[in-house]
Structure 1
Amino acid sequence: MKTEYENIKRIEAFIGGYFVTSYTFKIEFVRSEVIWEAVGDDFEPALMIQMDNESMNTFKEGISKCRILSWKNNYTDPHILDGTQWSLDIEFDDLRIEKSGSNAYPRE
């Protein structure tokens, strides 16, 4: 029996803030591809890595331990207007889950 985490097809994450370089991270589980990219004034070329099955399974075990599917949809610190924003899009065959935050994060 597969767990929910084994059924994830794609994850896209973003973290960034005002006047700083932001980053995106994409992982395609079906193709075993990871793409890391800086976005902003400090241009850095995207990094694409082809992962092996063992590495992909280790990554899924890690996100399972972080319990990302149990996180609230949004974490916000209303006392900070600037700072760091983040988002996480998790895709399954027929479902997309969005998590995000502004200057606040899940405990995991």
Structure 2
Amino acid sequence: MTSYLKRCIELIKMFLSAKTTATLTRRDNMTNFRRVSPKCPKCSGNQTYDILPQLPNELEDEIYLEELFYNGVSIGNTTYHCRTCNYTWKKYKGRKPYRDIKRIYCGIGGYPGPYYNVEINVDKRQVKHKTSLPEVNDIKIVGNLVTDKEIQWLLSQLYKCDLLNWAEEYFKPVLDGTSWNVRIEYSSYCEIKTGSNFFPEKWDEFTEAVSKISSGDFG
């Protein structure tokens, strides 16, 4: 079973449970979708939550799942709010974190294809673009070197897309459709963003930047 189907089943079960359990509160519904929020950098309080871009003015752990289920939901968001002092902040701030990126892997596709995968090695200035059509067993891989100026342009575009502050997962329960993933590697750790039929706000700008740097289709 694919990870996408597993996720569909997980969300559907939770949705049905929320609809059929009379004692389930609005707060309970989103709790299992929460990620651990960090301490407030202003007051060091622990009463924090991550803000849902789809419903920015409501507490994420008090949102009823049905409000988001069919329209798409993002999980593991990176904009936080402190209930104690009302301070709001993002996980990443400014351009400096983008200069720490070592590699980026991204992929997108849906049945029956095509599927696109792009690997960007920032340090070596190497870009690899892969197109695959599983139905006809056709795979095309193109690699090229890019200039330092082009890499700096890419990092600037990623900053404008707010890539590092994307949520961990974007989900909309649609069979088939389009799945995507972005893996960002640093010196000692990595971050992974994934989605199924639901996308970050700046997704189009991101795909345009990836297409341009890789000289191939992406999206």
TM-score of the superposition, structure 1-length normalised? 0.93
The alignment status of 1:55 with 2:150, answered yes or no, reads yes
Letter in 2 for 1:92: Y
Q: Secondary structure at the match of 2:140?
A: coil
Q: Post-superposition, which runs of at least 4 consecutive aligned residues in structure 1 deviate over 3 A?
A: none
Unaligned 5+ segments in structure 1 are: none
Alignment of 1:1-108 (within 5 A): 3-41=96-134, 43-78=138-173, 80-108=174-202
Q: How many residues align?
A: 106
Determine which structure has greater relative contact order: mean sequence separation of CA pairs < 8 Å that are 6+ residues apart, divided by chain length: 1
Bigger proportion of residues as helix: 2
Q: Given residue 88 of structure 1, which amino acid in structure 2 is its aligned partner? A: V
CA RMSD of aligned residues (A): 1.2
Q: By percentage of residues, which structure has more strand?
A: 1
Gaps of 5+ in 2: 1-94, 203-219
Amino acid at match of 1:5: Y
1:31-85: CA deviations, max 9, x gaps?
Answer: 000111012335242111100100010001001110110000000112x111000
What CA distance in whole angstroms lies between the structure 1 residues aligned with 2:187 and 2:199?
A: 27
Measure the CA separation in 1 of the matches of 2:153 and 2:133: 30
Residue 19 of structure 1 deviates from its aligned partner by 1.0
Normalization by structure 2: what TM-score? 0.47
Counterpart residue type for residue 130 of structure 2: E
Distance 1:85 1:18 in 2: 10
Q: Name the SS for the 1:93 alignment partner.
A: coil
**How many angstroms apart in 1 are the aligned matches of 2:167 and 2:181?**
12
In structure 2, what is the Cα distance between the partners aligned to 1:95 and 1:44?
Answer: 30
Structure number with larger C-alpha Rg: 2
